[in-house]
């Protein structure tokens, strides 16, 4: 969980390895992630854009940035939350994501909400 202390925006992340959609023999490991953005502040805010850095265990980075999330620009009044799911493809069984959202409050002030690094990892198996 991450908290933007100035604007009281909380970010929660859940991840899952998608074994059936992955192809380890081709170095394709697909992970889903669900993000919940909660506004625990006193003023509303709209998410404008996202910026992700996705890093595999070899250090190879992918930068993903764009407007909104999943084609939406969620507007969060105080005490509201918005959740969405997406996916990331890695060429290694372990990696991480981190980034930030750029938001705007009702006063027209832009601010970034950091998303601390979270891991993407194929579950260990016992044989």
Domain span including residue 91: 2-116
> What is the CATH number for 68?
2.60.40.1470
Is 123 within the bounds of a domain?
A: no
Q: Which of 95, 90, 96 is nearest to 26 (CA)?
A: 90
The per-residue pLDDT string of the chain (127 residues; one tens digit each, 9 = 90 and over) reads: 655 556 799 999 999 999 999 999 999 999 999 999 999 999 999 999 999 999 999 999 999 999 999 999 999 999 999 999 999 999 999 999 999 999 999 999 999 999 999 999 999 754 4
Is 63 within the bounds of a domain?
A: yes
Is 60 within the bounds of a domain?
A: yes
Greatest distance between any 2 Cα atoms in the chain: 58
Q: Which residues of 17-50 are buried (b: 16+ CB within 10 A; e: fewer)?
A: beeeebeeeeeebbbebebebbbebeebbebebb
For the chain, what is the domain count? 1
Position 105 scores a pLDDT of 94
Position 109 scores a pLDDT of 94
């Amino acid at each position: 969980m991450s908290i933007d202390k100035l604007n009281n925006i909380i970010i929660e992340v859940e991840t899952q390895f998608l074994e059936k959609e992955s192809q380890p023999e081709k170095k394709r490991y697909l992970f889903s992630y669900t993000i919940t953005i909660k506004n625990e502040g006193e003023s509303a805010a709209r998410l404008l854009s996202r910026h992700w850095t996705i890093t595999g265990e070899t250090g190879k980075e992918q930068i993903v940035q764009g407007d909104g999330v999943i084609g939406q620009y969620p507007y969060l009044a105080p005490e509201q939350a918005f959740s969405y799911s997406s996916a990331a493809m890695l060429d290694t069984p372990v990696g991480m994501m981190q980034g930030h959202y750029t938001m705007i409050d009702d006063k027209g002030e832009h601010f970034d909400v950091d998303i601390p690094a979270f891991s993407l990892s194929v579950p260990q198996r016992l044989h």
